[in-house]
A and B are shown apart, each in its own frame.
Chain A
């Protein structure tokens, strides 16, 4: 047990640390060296989602409904998958339009209608009250438990005099704290960097505290989580919690909770504030998409073990499950752990209260109070900057006191989570207006107004009023059978729909009404120009984000505009803003009497950041004289811009295609030129080759004709030469024809089972004469066992002969040596023809099988072959599905190798 004054001291010290962090963060921001501009701080600040609800309530919920606490965290995880798609768009819109709150966002989307902003603000304030009451309840309960815990006895909340109520003092302290934190600046669109830093710190504290509690309880007090769970599984009471049926409402309720939390993570005012308004850089969303779910994952791991441990330690329901995290360490006399848990809970609660009150006070001030104030003419002319701050501060106090009132009235009869879910259902009412609004231009102002009112009304009737009734403030006859005894109007079974739990029932009807009205009314509505303008700017924000000038064609004097800013922002800020503008736009405020449309727009945006878009618009139009350019004109400009962008995009696409086609064409052209050159070379080679034998045939024939008296021996020799040369001629012509045939694929192939050993022997015998004549040593290395392949026998012989005659041509002229090698391994038959000639340069090796390619520069002689032999070999082997290649080390010979698939020898 801890002394009350120790607790108070520690609590205030903790709040002091928060202040120090916030102060430091704000100072760094002013100096331009932000400490929050990174995705990790952004993620931690989003974790303001985990409030006292998570910290105390989850355990309580797990103790009664088993997995029922989890959908609240699974929903945001699922939604995070959509962030890159949805949230980034919202952030971009908010940045372009200087949005300061969710009310501002919705009203801007629907023609900057102040009425919509007001409705959203009212929904947000009323909807958030249950949520505030959770935090107050949690902090005051944890404070009381910590200094009055007496062991497992029935903890009685004494609702005595209001002045002895801890919750009231908690409320007041938190109000002062939030006021000091959140309303230092007037410009609400200026980010609260100090606050974000403090919130991120709180997120770390609560995570660490909860993990420590979880580890302490499950490992130190029990024999690890697994042992604890096994103990629990033996108790029939507790084993029920391990099934989904423990959740009241079963799978339907599970689905509803998931859906609600998916909406809540984006559209609770404080989440919207942290995610959108306080966002520094869109790219931070990328990391947060998976880091934030990871945070949720970690803070939930120990919830069930703690809940079961609590149920095992305090059987019989003597201790409120919502306080298990605290009471278990106290029961084990571990005051330090309990103190840490208390601080974690305090972090969770204060974080939520600070952000939510800042968000809400901005909304109340800009969207509820200002529009009313500005209607009063006399106020319009006064300096309002201090009034603005007072309104914000007052609304923070007011909202928190309302939350306290709600807590006094209702809080005690509900568990933490049940109350929070009422708030979630309220926040979900914003979802259709935003989600549909940023993707569908047709959503109209009247549609959104009807949708919000209808959704809110149904929510109030089916969730809020029953909670008053159940707390005894309204007669319970409204629940059963129904108001005025009409059963079909019963808030828990509207029109007789009684298959759902109350929450699902409410969400179903309110969403039906909300979405139904939004779409239904919009479809039959005619939007005016302003609505269309805002719709286009929101939906197509990625297409023309920067367009905002040309709005005003009327005239306004520079001094009037400056006066306007001074009234709302204070003299210093106004002058600073004008200075900034003149720096950026090369504009001298002293010499230019009339403002251009850029400046008007600039002032409107500055004002929007202070008093909201709707009010800013009213104020600006009171200063600008003459007509605004017709909004139809603006629409035209917008259309033109998007058309131009469309054209340029298409142009880009076309030019990319063109470029690609050009590259292809260039490559094709190069190939063609190369082929053409090769063809020319070939023709000249072939002609040359043809002429050589022809010349000698002709020469010897003439000798024979002109010299009849030639000796018979000579005569015979000449005839031999003629015959030989003719043969060479025939061979050459045959090769050309062969290649042409193979190329044109008209050659006839007869594939059969071929005995490869025989093929080689046949080729050897037909070419052996050549080797003997040139005194080249021919080595034959062919195995005895037969090797079979499927092939055209004659073609294969041709390949071997070609390779051998090549080898004969290129081998060493003095001590020529050629080896033929046949072997088979791993399903392939391999034939190698090796010579000991000069070898082939690596760069030539790749091209040697190309058509018409001849090895040049060998011993400065003319090319030796027709340039077709290897090409033909290549084609033939390819046709058989084999491979042919050359391996060569220059100056030490070349190996020509081909491989074909084996067939079974016994087939």
Chain B
């Protein structure tokens, strides 16, 4: 169970990071008319953060093997 809990903790931390990064005041730093690589800085920030966030979640979810729960084990035994 410990491993699965750790995964949950990581995901919750990611959620908190996401909520902080995608709200005032951090967002206000990028709210200006300025182009980087020809893209408005606010859009660039939002899309790049978005993509990184997805990658992080994918890594967290795919890296950890979730363990079967105890009840599943009990149930499967019962079926036998």
Interface of A with B (CB < 8 Å)?
A: 66-67, 70-71, 74, 77-82, 84-85, 225-227, 229-230, 233, 239-240, 242-245, 251, 254-255, 258, 286, 289-290, 293-294, 297, 301, 304, 542-546, 645, 648-649
Interfacial chain B residues near A245, Cβ < 8 Å: 31
Interfacial chain B residues near A70, Cβ < 8 Å: 46
Contact B38 A230 (CB under 8 A): yes
Contact B18 A77 (CB under 8 A): yes
Contact B46 A85 (CB under 8 A): no
> How far apart sit A245 and B62, CA to CA, in the bound complex (Å)?
38
14 interchain pairs (CB within 8 A)?
Answer: A66-B42, A67-B46, A81-B18, A81-B57, A84-B7, A244-B27, A244-B31, A244-B42, A251-B28, A290-B61, A293-B53, A293-B54, A542-B69, A544-B71
Interfacial chain A residues near B47, Cβ < 8 Å: 297, 301
Interfacial chain A residues near B19, Cβ < 8 Å: 78, 258
> How far apart sit A290 and B66, CA to CA, in the bound complex (Å)?
16
Contacts A290-B61, A544-B71 hold; do A251 and B22 have CB atoms under 8 A apart?
A: no
**In the complex, chain B residues 36-80 whose Cβ is within 8 Å of any chain A Cβ:** 37-43, 46-47, 50-51, 53-55, 57-58, 61-62, 66, 69-71, 74-75, 78
> How far apart sit A244 and B31, CA to CA, in the bound complex (Å)?
6
Contact A297 B51 (CB under 8 A): yes
> How far apart sit A80 and B55, CA to CA, in the bound complex (Å)?
13
> How far apart sit A293 and B54, CA to CA, in the bound complex (Å)?
7
> How far apart sit A84 and B8, CA to CA, in the bound complex (Å)?
7
A226, A286, A290, A546: the one contacting B75 at CB < 8 Å is A546
Interfacial chain A residues near B69, Cβ < 8 Å: 542
Interfacial chain A residues near B78, Cβ < 8 Å: 546
Instruction: Identify 19 new A-B residue pairs, CB closer than 8 A, beyond the known A251-B23, A255-B24, A297-B50.
Output: A84-B7, A85-B11, A229-B40, A230-B38, A233-B33, A233-B40, A240-B33, A242-B42, A242-B43, A243-B42, A244-B28, A244-B42, A251-B24, A286-B61, A286-B66, A293-B54, A297-B54, A545-B71, A645-B71
Interfacial chain A residues near B57, Cβ < 8 Å: 80-81, 289-290, 293
Q: Which residue of chain A has its CB nearest to the CB of B18?
A: A78
Contact A254 B27 (CB under 8 A): yes
**In the complex, chain B residues 1-39 whose Cβ is within 8 Å of any chain A Cβ:** 7-8, 11-12, 14-15, 18-19, 22-24, 27-28, 31-33, 35, 37-39
Contact A243 B27 (CB under 8 A): no
Contact B12 A258 (CB under 8 A): no
Chain B interface helix/strand/loop/mixed: helix
Interfacial chain B residues near A77, Cβ < 8 Å: 18, 50, 53-54
> How far apart sit A82 and B12, CA to CA, in the bound complex (Å)?
7
Interface of B with A (CB < 8 Å)?
A: 7-8, 11-12, 14-15, 18-19, 22-24, 27-28, 31-33, 35, 37-43, 46-47, 50-51, 53-55, 57-58, 61-62, 66, 69-71, 74-75, 78
> How far apart sit A799 and B62, CA to CA, in the bound complex (Å)?
55
Contact B24 A254 (CB under 8 A): yes
> How far apart sit A543 and B66, CA to CA, in the bound complex (Å)?
16
> How far apart sit A546 and B58, CA to CA, in the bound complex (Å)?
31
B27, B41, B61: the one contacting A289 at CB < 8 Å is B61
Task: Quote the shortest CB–CB distance from B4 to chain A (angstroms).
Answer: 9
Interfacial chain A residues near B51, Cβ < 8 Å: 297
Q: Which residue of chain A has its CB nearest to the CB of B32?
A: A243
Most buried by A among B41, B46, B53, B54: B54
B23, B31, B53: the one contacting A258 at CB < 8 Å is B23
> How far apart sit A261 and B14, CA to CA, in the bound complex (Å)?
18
Interfacial chain A residues near B8, Cβ < 8 Å: 84-85
Q: Which residue of chain A has its CB nearest to the CB of B55?
A: A290
Interfacial chain A residues near B31, Cβ < 8 Å: 243-245
Interfacial chain A residues near B62, Cβ < 8 Å: 286, 290
> How far apart sit A230 and B37, CA to CA, in the bound complex (Å)?
10
Interfacial chain B residues near A255, Cβ < 8 Å: 23-24
Interfacial chain B residues near A78, Cβ < 8 Å: 15, 18-19, 22, 53
Q: Which residue of chain B has its CB nearest to the CB of A66?
A: B42
The 10 A-B pairs with the shortest beta carbon distances in the complex, nearest first, are A226-B38, A251-B24, A290-B58, A242-B40, A244-B31, A81-B15, A78-B18, A239-B33, A243-B31, A81-B11
B14, B27, B40, B70: the one contacting A649 at CB < 8 Å is B70
Contacts A242-B42, A251-B27, A290-B57 hold; do A74 and B22 have CB atoms under 8 A apart?
A: yes
Interfacial chain A residues near B39, Cβ < 8 Å: 225-226, 229
> How far apart sit A683 and B28, CA to CA, in the bound complex (Å)?
80
> How far apart sit A544 and B78, CA to CA, in the bound complex (Å)?
13
Interfacial chain A residues near B32, Cβ < 8 Å: 242-243
> How far apart sit A240 and B51, CA to CA, in the bound complex (Å)?
25
> How far apart sit A290 and B56, CA to CA, in the bound complex (Å)?
9
A66, A71, A230, A648: the one contacting B35 at CB < 8 Å is A230
Q: Which residue of chain B has its CB nearest to the CB of A227?
A: B38
> How far apart sit A297 and B58, CA to CA, in the bound complex (Å)?
14
Interfacial chain A residues near B41, Cβ < 8 Å: 242
Q: Which residue of chain A has its CB nearest to the CB of B41?
A: A242
Q: Which residue of chain B has its CB nearest to the CB of A285?
A: B61
Q: Which residue of chain B has its CB nearest to the CB of A88?
A: B66
Interfacial chain B residues near A244, Cβ < 8 Å: 27-28, 31, 42
Task: Quote the shortest CB–CB distance from A388 to chain B (angstroms).
Answer: 32
Q: Which residue of chain A has its CB nearest to the CB of B69?
A: A542
Contact B33 A243 (CB under 8 A): yes
> How far apart sit A77 and B23, CA to CA, in the bound complex (Å)?
14
Interfacial chain B residues near A79, Cβ < 8 Å: 15
Contacts A233-B35, A542-B69 hold; do A81 and B46 have CB atoms under 8 A apart?
A: no
Contact A229 B11 (CB under 8 A): no
Interfacial chain A residues near B54, Cβ < 8 Å: 77, 290, 293-294, 297
Task: Quote the shortest CB–CB distance from B75 to chain A (angstroms).
Answer: 5
> How far apart sit A71 and B18, CA to CA, in the bound complex (Å)?
12
> How far apart sit A646 and B4, CA to CA, in the bound complex (Å)?
18
> How far apart sit A70 and B62, CA to CA, in the bound complex (Å)?
27
B7, B42, B66: the one contacting A67 at CB < 8 Å is B42
Q: Which residue of chain B has its CB nearest to the CB of A303?
A: B43
